[in-house]
Structure 1
Amino acid sequence: MRWNPLRIPAAVVTALVLVVTLAGPAPAAVVAGPAPITGVGSGKCLDVNGGARTARTGVAIRDCTGAANQAWTLTTNGELQVYDAATCLDVAGQDTTAPAVVQIYPCNGGANQKWRLQTNGTIVGVQSGLCLDVTGRGTANGTVVGMWTCNGQTNQSWTTTLRTGDTTAPTVPGNPRVSNLTCSTVTFAWNASTDAVGVAFYDIYHDGQQMTSVSGSTLSTSLPVVAGAVWGLYVNARDAAGNVSQASTTVTITVPQCQADTQAPTAPGTPSATVSGTTVTLTWAAATDNVGVRTYEVRRGGTAVGTVSGNPPVTTFIDSGLAASTAYSYSVVARDAQGNTSPASGSRTVTTGAACGSAVCSVTQVGTDTDIPWGLDTLPDGTVLYTRRDAQQVVRLDPATGAKTTVGTVPNVQGTDGEGGLMGLALSPTFASDQWVYLMHTSPTDNRIVRIKLVNNALVTSSAQVLLTGIPRNKYHDGGRLRFGPDGKLYASTGDAQNGDYAQNTSNLAGKILRLNPDGTVPSDNPFGNAVWSYGHRNPQGIAFDSQGRLWEQEFGNSVMDETNLIVKGGNYGWPACEGTVGTCGTAGFIAPKRTYPTSEGSCSGIAIVRDALYVACARGARMYRAVISGSSLTNVQTFFSGTYGRLRTVEPAPGGGLWLTTTTTGDKDSVANNSNERILRVTLGG
């Protein structure tokens, strides 16, 4: 007899549904609950309409009653259950676009039933990345609750004891490893983390950029990679309450090319040149290649002085800071992705003008170091004081002679096998009388700000004072810059410690610009009653003040763009909902950046302002940008030193209206001391 599904009796259908339900995933352990979830904007509770238990019943806000249809539990899988372990809060149809409908539905383990209860008060759908939202910012009973793009407003903020039921971060995931590496994919695996309640997610990164998240039951995943790239992979564990572990150790991979290529590009055209004072601008005809040219190397007198990269790279280069009335000969070579090098172009000889007529007039190397020079300031006698990030030391440099003196090692500093360690440095505005040196560093438990006296060319460690603790730390995203403002207050930039929801939580010190009195107390006019001055930042590392006393900030993006911001008191700069101008950047309350840079041309760290021109030092982009501050805009943007000195970390004002500039070419993604080869440069500026 043929089975006709159209003639199944209703009782049999019910039985089949029951069998399917009973055969579903085993209930997850409970983190916390049952407890209400209350909207901050409305003061009302998340409520299942009519107290119904039927699948696909919607949810809304209503006066809090303590009834079962307002009693939620959070599981180790990140589910929000109501009534029992079989009924979950669910995004209908697994919709990932706003607006999406929220309902109750039998628990099935799907990603559309998993939630992150962020410490900033939001409840975020794991599958969609959207926020649980009271429609139209309504406050009336029965106002529908759905999913909407996260925007930081009170109709997306919820209070609940479910979030505070677990405050312990998972342990570090162990034994990260790779297999099956090809030119396009790699399998990344790790050992399970442990947690007081349970791991809900693993977040996978390369070199500080988040690649993907997987469930807490997943211990390996296939990742897309870029041919020819050298990446450092690592993983963090996250529990359902939003606590994030410290990062695993790093696994470095060198991705093979997808095809063998032994054919070199053709020679580029002989460069043409124009001269403006001591600056030469070169232009040449593109080389050709069977696969594609990826880099041009510009040579001056046979020595490489710059690189231009891209797909394809541009065919122009500006060489600045040359000697006056001097002849220079230039040629260009091309390279493809596999390092095949073309013959050199024809050479072009030009003579510079008698005087500097550009923004950058000359560059002089004043020192070298085998560690990363990170924070830097100028002492009253014109010598330089700087930090050695991984060696945890402070050094005094005489730029006239290149002589260096180690003035001390900062206590309680610990690296992160990434970008933490001894970072920012700033001298007290009244250093001549009080001798305070302010430092920001990573400790074994957090990031912190301290001050130590410098007396007779030595740090007096017995004078050390810890001014601020409790700034979250991780392998990357530790921020670290210090700067005194014209108001006499100390400003500091802090990263989000690889936990984006910290950035939107004004009670958390991560992902912020902080403001302190010189003694570490909180100024009475700070906007949130704590050290926070602005928020919504991912990993800011540059801060500087212009002639009007306004604070500018430079911030690393994730994978799309970096940004330069003009900071205002209490301002929200949008991370993680907004990266540069990508995401929900038009959301009310988010402050837009003044300029953005593709990460391939940026990854910019330090900034300095001299005569209301902003100078930006970039690592991955291996260049320095200059922009004129005009009103509240950045105009007349120019690029200098593209590849000339490699990756750049710190730029600071120097006496006489110049700049100090430091490199960060090797060893900047680990905590190994003295494994680098860096330079400290003095840049003389023109008009």
Structure 2
Amino acid sequence: MRAWIALAALAGTLLFSACKKSSTDNNNGNTPETPGSTAELTDKVLTDKLTFPWEVLWGPDNKLWVTERGGKISSIDPSTGGITLIKNLTDVVSQGEGGLLGMVLHPDFANTPEVFVAYNYSKGGTYTKKVVKFTYSGGTLINPVVLLDNIPAASTHNGTRLAISPDKKLFITSGDAATSSRAQDMNNPAGKIQRINLDGSIPADNPFPGSPVWTFGHRNPQGLVFVGDRLYSSEHGNATDDEINIIQKGRNFGWPNVEGYCNTADEKGFCQVNQVAEPIQAWTPTIAPSGLDYYNNNAIPQWKGSLLLAVLKNSELLQLKLNAEGTGVTTISSFYKGKYGRMRDIAISPDGKVYIITSNGGNDKLIEVGGK
């Protein structure tokens, strides 16, 4: 099903368009971060009984669906904080930052109750990632169907956030699995964002025929969210240049030859030859950005039209206010810095409440943030 063919030559036929840096850029293209006011916000812990949760979603049952790296998929009642186990995936192998990671629900869940998850396991003794589709029935998950397999995994740099587009395609982020050269290797699925149909087949309009690859040159993308048909991603840099990217069909995002913007002599040359897409935001020093969501609700009006980003290293929630076109970040505000520890992912309810999971390794929390 997957023909990993000579794709780099095809990439060279794509149009090059360099992103312009904002006028708010400082010495490395960073938008200054300012403390955000919590005067008009409320926050409370719904539960502290999680262990390394990775994904949190608002479910069709009006509960929060959560994955934990050890293999558990659970739902949490936002009114009580009560946790109900949905499924424990016994073939999950959690090593370091690996394990059960991304999850997304079918957008028409009432009629098609499908749950898509991605996780690491041992395949003949080799640490590997696969994407599996389950059917939700009787309060549990049944009928697993493997959609993608043989994606390199490691104890770091797994990426693994999932999103479904408005036209019902499944997008999967994969980090370089701690081997940076994989990101530019078109014969290797690591360091890529992949796009498949919901049955696992490869869309005919993918940029590289016969391949699920949508974009390449990624180090460790841990956030993914659609805003209309525009796809935003957050990505961990190495020692510099954590990024927010707009994901564009067939584009090269530079790693490991480019970190952040194309702003050194070597990077400029590589970017021109390889049509590298630059981020719309970069951070140096690094902040370790993870889960990403988009806020467009009146319940917290000051956050409307913003990306919300869960941050691990700086233990904070960042509000990234977008410009009117959605192509750049105008201001960045920090919330709850240091209050709850490392923040992994975000979900938003239909009534505008924001839910954050932590990744501290013990007594991990689900936090609810609302407007007063």
Amino acid aligned to 1:604: P
Give the match for residue 538 of structure 1.
Answer: 219
Amino acid aligned to 2:281: R
Question: Which runs of structure 2 are paired with 1:336-351 in the superposition (5 Å)?
Answer: none
Q: SS of the counterpart of 1:579?
A: coil
Alpha-carbon distance in 1 for matches of 2:167, 2:353? 23
Pick from 428, 432, 455 the counterpart of residue 110 of structure 2: 432
Pick from 24, 35, 48 the counterpart of residue 368 of structure 1: 48
Q: Which stretch has the larger CA shift, 654-663 or 577-586?
A: 577-586
Question: Which runs of structure 2 are paired with 1:182-193 in the superposition (5 Å)?
Answer: none
How many residues are matched?
326
Aligned: 1:482 with 2:162: yes
Q: SS of the counterpart of 1:553?
A: strand
Give the match for residue 568 of structure 1.
Answer: 248
Give the match for residue 368 of structure 2.
Answer: 682
Amino acid aligned to 2:349: A
Q: Per-residue deviation at 1:655?
A: 2.3
Q: TM-score, normalised by structure 1?
A: 0.45
Q: Per-residue deviation at 1:486?
A: 1.2
Q: SS of the counterpart of 1:501?
A: helix
Q: Contact 2:216 / 2:252 at 8 angstroms: preserved in 1?
A: yes
Alpha-carbon distance in 1 for matches of 2:249, 2:12? 18
Amino acid aligned to 1:427: L
Question: Which runs of structure 2 are paired with 1:658-673 in the superposition (5 Å)?
Answer: 658-666=353-361
Q: Which has the larger radius of gyration?
A: 1
CA RMSD between the two structures: 2.3
Amino acid aligned to 2:106: S
Give the match for residue 397 of structure 1.
Answer: 76
Alpha-carbon distance in 1 for matches of 2:338, 2:173? 27
Question: Which runs of structure 2 are paired with 1:12-91 in the superposition (5 Å)?
Answer: none
Amino acid aligned to 2:101: M
Alpha-carbon distance in 2 for matches of 1:472, 1:369? 31
Q: SS of the counterpart of 1:486?
A: coil
Q: TM-score, normalised by structure 2?
A: 0.82
Aligned: 1:592 with 2:273: no
Q: Contact 1:494 / 1:512 at 8 angstroms: preserved in 2?
A: yes
C-alpha spacing 1:539/1:526, structure 2 compared with 1 (3 Å): same
Deviations 1:88-130 (A, max 9, x none): xxxxxxxxxxxxxxxxxxxxxxxxxxxxxxx9999xxxxxxxx
Q: SS of the counterpart of 1:432?
A: coil
Amino acid aligned to 2:226: F
Q: SS of the counterpart of 2:42?
A: strand
Amino acid aligned to 1:682: E
Q: Per-residue deviation at 1:317?
A: 5.2
Q: Per-residue deviation at 1:598?
A: 2.4
Q: Contact 1:651 / 1:661 at 8 angstroms: preserved in 2?
A: yes
Aligned: 1:525 with 2:205: yes
Alpha-carbon distance in 2 for matches of 1:551, 1:429? 16
Q: Contact 2:35 / 2:334 at 8 angstroms: preserved in 1?
A: no
Alpha-carbon distance in 2 for matches of 1:665, 1:414? 19
Q: SS of the counterpart of 2:135?
A: strand
Unaligned ranges ≥5, structure 2: 14-33, 297-304
Alpha-carbon distance in 2 for matches of 1:474, 1:459? 26
Q: Per-residue deviation at 1:506?
A: 2.5
Amino acid aligned to 2:192: K
Q: Per-residue deviation at 1:437?
A: 0.9
Give the match for residue 87 of structure 2.
Answer: 408
After TM superposition, where is structure 1 displaced by more than 4 Å over at least 4 residues in a row?
A: 119-122, 316-319
Alpha-carbon distance in 2 for matches of 1:426, 1:468? 15
Give the match for residue 173 of structure 2.
Answer: 493
Q: Contact 2:69 / 2:99 at 8 angstroms: preserved in 1?
A: yes
Q: Contact 2:35 / 2:333 at 8 angstroms: preserved in 1?
A: no
Aligned: 1:647 with 2:342: yes
Q: Contact 2:100 / 2:119 at 8 angstroms: preserved in 1?
A: yes
Q: Contact 1:660 / 1:682 at 8 angstroms: preserved in 2?
A: yes
Q: Contact 2:290 / 2:310 at 8 angstroms: preserved in 1?
A: yes
Q: Per-residue deviation at 1:408?
A: 1.3
Give the match for residue 299 of structure 2.
Answer: none
Q: SS of the counterpart of 2:111?
A: helix
Q: Contact 2:174 / 2:192 at 8 angstroms: preserved in 1?
A: yes
Unaligned ranges ≥5, structure 1: 1-118, 123-151, 155-315, 323-355, 667-675
Aligned: 1:377 with 2:57: yes
Amino acid aligned to 2:280: K
Question: Which runs of structure 2 are paired with 1:59-458 in the superposition (5 Å)?
Answer: 318=36, 320=38, 322=39, 356=40, 361-390=41-70, 392-416=71-95, 418-444=96-122, 445=126, 446-458=128-140
Pick from 289, 314, 334 the counterpart of residue 621 of structure 1: 314
Give the match for residue 22 of structure 2.
Answer: none
Alpha-carbon distance in 2 for matches of 1:591, 1:376? 29
Q: Contact 1:623 / 1:642 at 8 angstroms: preserved in 2?
A: yes
